[in-house]
Amino acid sequence: MRVYPTFFRLAFSWMDAERAHKIGFKGIRLAHTTGASRLLQRFTAPAPSLQTTAFGVTFPSPFGLAAGFDKEGHGIEALTELGFGHVEVGTITGQAQPGNEKPRLFRLIQDRAVINRMGFNNDGAVAVEPRLKAARDALRRRYPDVRPVIGVNIGKSKVVELDDAVGDYLLSARSLAPAADYLVVNVSSPNTPGLRLLQDVQTLRPLLTAVGEEADRAAGRHVPLLVKIAPDLSNEDIDDVARLALDLKLDGIIATNTTIARTGLKSPAEAVEKCGPGGLSGAPLKQRSLEVLRRLKDATGDSITLVAVGGVETARDVQERLDAGATLVQGYTAFLYEGPFWAARINRQLAKSRRSDKVRNKSS
């Protein structure tokens, strides 16, 4: 019997969603500070059979936490203790910014979904960098063999004009790449005005080229570079991004970010409208994100790492995406509904399934 759904209904469902997130995240970090989560690691640590290699980096599990939960690198160690094979921090911008006005985070509980228009609220790249470095050093000491991986997701500062976007991304890359295991260029959030225009391949090419070169120069090594795209791109645009990624020899594509669509929801239309604009994430995104993943796989074959995110709730969802061509899978929204042992439960079920497959293959 799972206790957390009842706890969520009683403790969090009535509360402002952003306030609930902050309280929950503080609880996770407190468990790390007191040593409680470390004691639980015998139950939450991914099985060795789940180790996965992508773009030359070994992950303890293919399942990780998408950008958006830990925007500023405050809880990386704590989150990895819950079983996530990687934590993608961000989105981080070149300049510190407060984000959009509150309220800006809304739950659609009937749909197991969230609408957000946070607006990349964060302390800025220079302030976040020492947190990432400290977390990376701590994870290296604690896991001398295979440690949880730190991804860093960077975006455009709101006050920076699109014509100056490259320089803004370079500031973030320069500061953050040395502490990142991989770097993600986010051009697909709907909450920064004009940002999605950067997904046009003519604009995207010089941006990705410049960020990749600056990241490697700043880190003194190759930092795997990925781009995160929106589910709202047309199929033709998805094909264009795939061709560009192959041409530039990018290390990966993350599919997908949140959607501006509001189709097929169970929640009353007036409740959805009351939330206002923003990106929708969670279960309603499941089918479209899977379609984008499959299209990218058809277009890129085995030449590039695909990271699937969008509507991932269960181990079956994770496996479906792995079977569809993803090497790594991320989740976020379901974490809010499933609670702190969500990643550990998915890892256990994935490992159990792999053991069963191994036994069947031996007996056949």
pLDDT of residue 204: 83
Which residues is 329 bridged to in the sheet?
A: 63, 308
pLDDT of residue 226: 97
Share of the chain above pLDDT 70, in %: 94
**Among the ranges given (3-7, 59-63, 104-108), the one the predictor scored with the smallest mean pLDDT:** 3-7
If one compares 164 and 323, the residue with the highest pLDDT of the two is: 323
* Cα-based distances in Å from 5 to 44, 124, 291, 339: 19, 35, 29, 8
Mean pLDDT of 293-298: 97
Identify the band that residue 234 occupies on the pLDDT scale cut at 50, 70 and 90. confident
- Separation of alpha carbons 286 and 267, rounded Å: 17
pLDDT of residue 303: 93
pLDDT of residue 164: 87
pLDDT of residue 188: 67
**Is a pLDDT exceeding 90 seen at residue 176?**
yes
245's CB contacts (< 8 A; 6+ apart) are 227, 252, 253, 300, 304
E strand map for the chain = 52-54, 57-59, 63-65, 86-93, 105-108, 113-116, 149-155, 182-186, 225-229, 252-255, 279-282, 305-309, 328-331
- Condensed to tens digits (0 to 9), the pLDDT of residues 124-164 reads 999 999 999 999 999 999 998 999 999 999 999 999 888 88
pLDDT of residue 187: 79
Identify the band that residue 284 occupies on the pLDDT scale cut at 50, 70 and 90. very high
Specify burial of residue 357 (Cβ count, 10 A radius: 0-12, 13-18, 19+): exposed
Closest CA to 53 of 149, 185, 183, 178: 149
- Condensed to tens digits (0 to 9), the pLDDT of residues 184-224 reads 998 766 656 555 566 577 788 889 999 999 999 999 999 99
Asked whether the beta carbons of 54 and 305 are under 8 A apart, the reply is yes
DSSP 3-state of 135: helix
Catalytic residue IDs? 189
- Condensed to tens digits (0 to 9), the pLDDT of residues 1-19 reads 467 667 667 767 778 889 8
Query: CB 325: neighbour CB atoms within 10 A?
Result: 18
| Paired tokens of 271 | 């409740």
Closest CA to 228 of 127, 152, 311, 314: 152
- Separation of alpha carbons 222 and 63, rounded Å: 23
- Condensed to tens digits (0 to 9), the pLDDT of residues 238-254 reads 998 898 899 999 999 99
Mean pLDDT of 296-305: 95
Asked whether the beta carbons of 226 and 251 are under 8 A apart, the reply is yes
